A and B are shown apart, each in its own frame.
Chain A
Amino acid sequence: MKAPVDRVPLTNDARAAWERALDLWRVRLDDPAVRPGAADEHGAPAWFSFPPSVTVDPRYLAERGLADELWSMFAHEIGHHVLAPSTRIDSLKIDHQMAKAIAAVSLRPNPGEGARRLSNLWSDLLVNTRLAQLQRAEQRSAGTATRDLGIVRLGRALYPAPQGSTDRLWWVYCRAYELLWQLPSGTLCELDPPPRPARALAHTNLVPLSRIPEKHREKERLLRAAQAESARVAAELAGATATNPAVDAAFIADAVRTFSTDPVSGAARFGVVAAPYLAELEGAAESGAGEPVSGCGVDDAPATAEELGRILADQRLRDDLPRHPGMVLDPEGEDAADDASDAGSGKDGQRLTIARTLSLYRESGEDAVLSAWYRNEAARWVRPYTRPAPMRPVGGIPGPVELWEVGDALADLDWPLTMRSGTVIPGVTTRRRSELADEPLVQETSLELDLYIDSSGSMAHPRQGSPAVLAGTILALSILRGGGRVRVTSFSGTGDVAGMPRFGRDPSEIIAAISLFFGRSTSFPLDLYSARYAGLPAAAEDAPRHVVVLSDDGLVSMFGVGNEPYAGVARTVREVLTTGTLVLMDPRRQVATLAERDGYDVVYLRTMADAPAACAALAAALHG
Chain B
Amino acid sequence: MDNGILAQFIQQIINGVSLGSIYALIALGYTMVYGIMRLINFAHGDIYMLGAYVGFFVTTQLKLGFFPALILAMIAIAAIGVVVEKLAYKPLRHSSKISILITAIGVSLFIEYTTMYFLSPQPRTFPPVLPNQVFHLGSVMISFQQIVILASTVVLMLMLWYIVQYTKMGKAMRAVSYDTDAALLMGINVDHVISFTFAVGSGLAGAAGVLVGIYYNTIDPLMGIMPGLKAFIAAVLGGIGIIPGAMMGGIILGVVEALVSGFLSSTFRDAAAFGILIIILLIKPTGLLGKNETEKV
Q: Do A and B come from one complex?
A: no
- Hey, which bits of chain B sit against chain A, CB under 8 A? none
